[in-house]
Amino acid sequence: MGRYLRVRGIDDHGLCLVVLGDRPVDVCVDGRRVWTFWSLRDTVARGGPAVGRYPLRRASWPKKLRRHLSGRGRITVRDSAAGIVYFDDEVVLGDGEGPILVRNRQGVDLGVDKSGRLVPTFANRSEDNIASLLDATEAVIAALEDAGLEPFIAYGTLLGAVREGAVLGHDSDADIGYVSRHTNPVDVARESFAVQRHLAERGWRISRYSGASFKIYVKEGEVTRGLDVFGGFLASGRLYLMGEVGVEFEPEWIRPRTTATLEGRPMPVPARPDKFLEAMYGPGWRMPDPAFQFTTPDRTIRAFNDWFRGLQPGIRYWHRHAHHGANKPPKRRPSAQARRAAKVARRQNADVLDVGAGRGADSLWLARKGIGVTAYDYVPQALRKASECAEEESLDLSVRYLNLTEWRSVFAEGARLARLPRRRVVLANHVVDATSSPGREALARLCSMALRERGGRLLAEFYVPTEDMPGDVPEWMVGKPDADVFTTLLRDAGASRVNAKVLLLQGRPTVRVEGVWKACS
């Protein structure tokens, strides 16, 4: 009875099920897996008559998948681990016109990965494409070894090699890990940055998302994929490996490395890969589960946050946000603050520094008004289309990386700006509420360095959470920004005048701040 599941219907909203027990369930369209969910964990009780003593449950289509589900197609619902087929029939969804195609604009088949992203997965990739990714994986491993590390394939890549000897069909990237010889988190972070510089000097394109992990971008056929490199270390009998691992561990389970076969190729793995997989996925790692979700202990989360993750709060959200609109030019109308920035910039013959520019809608609009703009973000790939539009239109818009929670980023950029004799307007639209307390302090410091010499203004807007705030707090909001605390930071940073007022915008209490810096005499 533990495997009992019956599909009672499939419609534009999702699947209606009768279930007993929690099982991973694949949904396939014309034989291609597009989504996996757990029959209890990822469903909700649905009102209506029960079937026997078992109530109906609803598995709703993921939002990003739903827009592809229009037409006719053969839907198969099967047990992910046992292969038992619960449903297999033609279904009409949406307008019913044409076949159901879950593909991107390049015609590449997509599937929902374990992070909820709709991405090209390995299941439908050609042998040449997979061979290309394995070539890149081997090249990255060799580069990391050249930098003095002892890398090994990790997480889903390790799982595929050990359990199946092949890449996992539902996976969408390759993971690499290493365990540092250092035992102090500070030394581990310093080593990680040194390795990044070593790789960058040799032409690798890299983006960092913590003090001990970064992503290396590689080309696999027509698809660009990111290889995640997770740093770790062993201290006081515990292994900490960026991502999700913080467990008691033995040194001899790590070194010396051995090999496992992945798609016919030997790949480096830890001395006891089974111990690593148990640490990563639990004792049930041998059972296929494309919908696996990590349940990292609070202790491990706090440790990683304190040691490494304070560098980029909310980075996963912003990477997903950037990925979703990567190929679309920004079309959003300019914000009210951008319009105010344009007026001030014209009046004072000033440039605009758009901090936390996102996809660059405000930056592009300002540049089209003839204003010099620098667009800053710590997910600069989100600004790629805006940058391309600016280049095509010969606009004065440049894109630069800035991380407000990394002091060396703030000081380096602030020093660069201080040397350039220009008046400036700093636009910070929903940056104060999207960064941490150190990030808010760094924003004030950046304004001081950029505006103190020639004078200028800061125009900021941010939400302030209250107990009666309607609806959910935005997913990207970090902490509880306080208007009084922020205005004090600006005054301490040299602002001669700071004005703040509270408005109700879209049902949320919103603070608008204007800080003024006078030119040094």
pLDDT the model gives residue 331: 74
Q: Is 301 found in the same domain as 343? A: no
Q: Which of 148-152, 219-223, 322-326, 370-374 has the lowest mean pLDDT?
A: 219-223
Q: Is 409 found in the same domain as 263? A: no
Give me the mean pLDDT over the 401-407 stretch. Answer: 90
Q: Is 278 found in the same domain as 197? A: yes
pLDDT the model gives residue 103: 87
Give me the mean pLDDT over the 16-38 stretch. Answer: 89
Helix, strand or coil for residue 113?
coil
479 domain-assigned: yes
Residue at a domain's end among 245, 276, 311: 311
Q: Is 480 found in the same domain as 349? A: yes
Q: Is 247 found in the same domain as 218? A: yes
Residue at a domain's end among 102, 135, 154: 102
Residue 403 has pLDDT above 80, yes or no: yes
pLDDT the model gives residue 308: 85
37 and 25 Cβ atoms separated by less than 8 Å: yes
Q: What is the CATH number of the domain that holds 300?
A: 3.30.460.10
Which amino acid is residue 112, in one-letter code?
A: V
Q: Is 145 found in the same domain as 40? A: no
pLDDT the model gives residue 3: 56
**Higher per-residue pLDDT: 39 or 223:** 39
Q: Is 34 found in the same domain as 163? A: no
Q: What is the 3-state secondary structure (H, E, C) of 403-466?
A: CCCCHHHHHHHHHHHHCCCCCEEEEEECCCCCCCHHHHHHHHHHHHHHHCCCCEEEEEEEECCC
Q: Give the model's confidence band at 2: pLDDT under 50 very low, under 70 low, under 90 confident, else very high.
A: very low
- Taking only the tens place, the pLDDT of each residue in 109-135 is 888 887 777 877 766 666 777 788 888
pTM over 0.75: no
CA dist., res. 165 & res. 134, Å (int): 13
Q: What is the CATH number of the domain that holds 480?
A: 3.40.50.150
Cβ contacts of residue 83 below 8 Å, gap of 6+? none
Q: Is 127 found in the same domain as 19? A: no
Q: Is 127 found in the same domain as 87? A: no
- Taking only the tens place, the pLDDT of each residue in 261-318 is 998 999 999 999 999 999 998 888 887 776 677 778 888 888 888 888 766 777 777 7
Largest CA distance in the chain: 84
| Residue 373 region by backbone torsions, left for phi larger than 0, else alpha for psi between -120 and 50, else beta | beta
431 and 462 Cβ atoms separated by less than 8 Å: yes
Q: To 5 degrees, how large is the angle CA 436–CA 442–CA 448?
A: 150
- Taking only the tens place, the pLDDT of each residue in 131-147 is 888 888 999 999 999 99
pLDDT the model gives residue 329: 75
pLDDT the model gives residue 141: 95
Give me the mean pLDDT over the 227-251 stretch. Answer: 94
CA dist., res. 352 & res. 366, Å (int): 8
pLDDT the model gives residue 186: 95
Residue 49 has pLDDT above 60, yes or no: no
Residue 521 has pLDDT above 80, yes or no: no
**Higher per-residue pLDDT: 28 or 476:** 28
Q: Give the model's confidence band at 158: pLDDT under 50 very low, under 70 low, under 90 confident, else very high.
A: very high
289 domain-assigned: yes
Q: Is 50 found in the same domain as 136? A: no
117 domain-assigned: no
Q: Which domain holds residue 459?
A: 324-517
51 domain-assigned: yes
Residue 48 has pLDDT above 60, yes or no: no
Residue 468 has pLDDT above 60, yes or no: no
- Edge-first strand order for the sheet with 351-355 is 397-401, 373-377, 351-355, 424-429, 456-463, 508-517, 497-505
**What domain count does the chain have?**
3
369 domain-assigned: yes
The percent of residues above 90 in pLDDT, for the chain, comes to: 55
Q: Which of 150-154, 227-231, 360-364, 473-477 has the lowest mean pLDDT?
A: 473-477
**Higher per-residue pLDDT: 471 or 89:** 89
Residue of 224, 222, 430, 457 whose CA lies nearest to 323: 224
Q: Is 287 found in the same domain as 199? A: yes
CA atoms within 13 A on the CB side of 146: 13
Per residue in 74-108, is it b (16+ CB within 10 Å) or e — as a string?
Answer: ebbbbbbbeeeebbeeebebeeeeeebbbebeeeb
Rounded (to 5) percent helix, strand, coil in the chain: 30, 30, 40
Residue at a domain's end among 258, 276, 311: 311
151 domain-assigned: yes
Query: Which residue is it, tokens 């879209």?
Result: 506
Q: Phi then psi for 81, rounded to 5 degrees? A: -90, -45
Residue 487 has pLDDT above 90, yes or no: yes
Q: Is 305 found in the same domain as 169? A: yes
Q: Give the model's confidence band at 1: pLDDT under 50 very low, under 70 low, under 90 confident, else very high.
A: very low
108 domain-assigned: no
Q: Phi then psi for 242, rounded to 5 degrees? A: -50, 145
Q: Phi then psi for 501, rounded to 5 degrees? A: -140, 150
In whole numbers, what is the pLDDT of the chain averaged over residues?
Answer: 88
